[in-house]
Structure 1
């Protein structure tokens, strides 16, 4: 279960990171809707990429995986604040990503 959820989280966050880093239309629309400057896109993509890579590195160095999972949970907590700040109630994607990040963190904390 630990490996499956961690790999799933890395794939989800890695895919999201790529869409931010290449400037795909969907994340661009989300950043605009949340009234964030577009220069945040590569920053957000880099944070997601660091989280995804950190989760995978965690298979070899467990504390890095745990820190990556914590970072992703914090990232998505911030995303919720930004959604609510602009009155967005479209939280399905957020809920999926957050649930997987929280599950990954719980599994990392209980695996050791």
Structure 2
């Protein structure tokens, strides 16, 4: 079970790390997504930093389990918010958000099963 936890955590860290880089380098995709959702573009780097913090927290959680649980919880909340933001403006393009949410939720569940809450 620990091997599954580590594998899913690394996959989640790669997913979120890649997304964070996309947001932080000023790529056009996050900007157009922000425009579509009615979010000011100044929030794009902030969202990227949240993703980056989640990525670092997931990896740190391999050594300090409570950090991984907190990071996974934060990412679950982040992606619930992202899906709600899409639905609020009538966008049904939520498959990516669901994949990211599912990955974060799996990491959280596996972390709690393997390590407990603390």
TM-score of the pair, normalised by structure 1: 0.97
Residue 30 of structure 2 corresponds to which residue in structure 1? 27
Could you tell me the TM-score, scaled by structure 2's length? Answer: 0.92
Q: Distance in 2 between matches of 1:109 and 1:34?
A: 33
Listed as ranges, the gaps of 5+ residues in structure 1 are none
**Aligned runs of 1:84-99 on 2, under 5 Å?**
84-99=87-102
**1:35 Cα shift?**
0.9
Moved over 4 A (4+): none
Q: What is the aligned partner in structure 2 of residue 15 from structure 1?
A: 18
1:72 counterpart residue number: 75
How far apart are residue 65 of structure 1 and its match?
A: 0.5
Q: Match for residue 110 of structure 1? A: 113
Structure 1 residue 81: Cα displacement: 1.4
Alpha-carbon distance in structure 1 between the residues aligned to 2:74 and 2:20? 14
Structure 2 residue 3 is the aligned partner of structure 1 residue 4: no
Other-structure match for 1:54: 57
| Unaligned stretches of 5+ residues in structure 2 | none
Secondary structure at 1:39 match in 2: helix
What residue number does 1:42 align with?
Answer: 45
